[in-house]
């Protein structure tokens, strides 16, 4: 029997925060608290996205706007949905929604090789290391991508 899966990327809603908090807790050793996720959802309606399968959240990503750059705060995919391209789809959609004149920066655990590989594939480069960045003392790799403004070329 053929099962049809409906996949959708949409802006976060406040009533998504509880489900996102559970996803955050299953994805990270030092998860963001739900109040922080709720603030991000309120403050960044255009750059806090969820990916749903059959109306169930399986991934989310959020970008914050800092003074001199955009900052990928977090991207997470439910463990049973990883390695299926959902994180990359979210990242592509987030990039599409950002100003093309500002760099996009992020921190990633040095042990998170799958994430580092994804970011490298999407054009991010390592710009530094933050020693002891995470609560357990692990270093973070700092990565950046310079988004370029797309221009139409008439022929």
Catalytic residues: 107, 119
Beta bridge pairs of residue 19: none
Helix (H, G, I), strand (E, B) or coil at 149: coil
Q: How far is CA 154 from the centre of its chain?
A: 34
Q: Which residues are CB-contacts of 137 (< 8 A; sequence separation ≥ 6)? A: none
44 close to 62: Cβ distance less than 8 angstroms? yes
Find the farthest-apart pair of alpha carbons in the chain and give their distance in angstroms, rounded.
Answer: 55
Residue carrying the six token digits 């221009």: 151
């Amino acid at each position: 029997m053929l099962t049809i899966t409906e996949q959708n990327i949409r802006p976060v809603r406040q009533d998504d925060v509880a489900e996102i908090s559970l996803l955050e807790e299953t994805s990270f050793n030092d998860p963001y608290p739900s109040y922080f996720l709720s603030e991000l959802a309120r403050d960044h309606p255009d750059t806090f996205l969820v990916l749903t399968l059959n109306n169930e959240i399986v991934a989310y990503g959020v970008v914050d706007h800092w003074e001199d750059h955009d900052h990928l705060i977090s991207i997470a995919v439910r463990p049973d949905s990883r390695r299926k391209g959902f994180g990359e789809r979210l990242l592509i959609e987030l990039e599409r929604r950002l100003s093309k004149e500002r760099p996009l920066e992020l921190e990633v655990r040095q042990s998170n090789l799958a994430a580092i590989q994804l970011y490298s594939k999407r054009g991010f480069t390592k710009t530094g290391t933050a020693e002891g960045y995470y609560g357990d003392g692990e270093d973070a790799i700092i990565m950046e991508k310079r988004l370029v403004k797309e221009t139409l070329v008439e022929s």
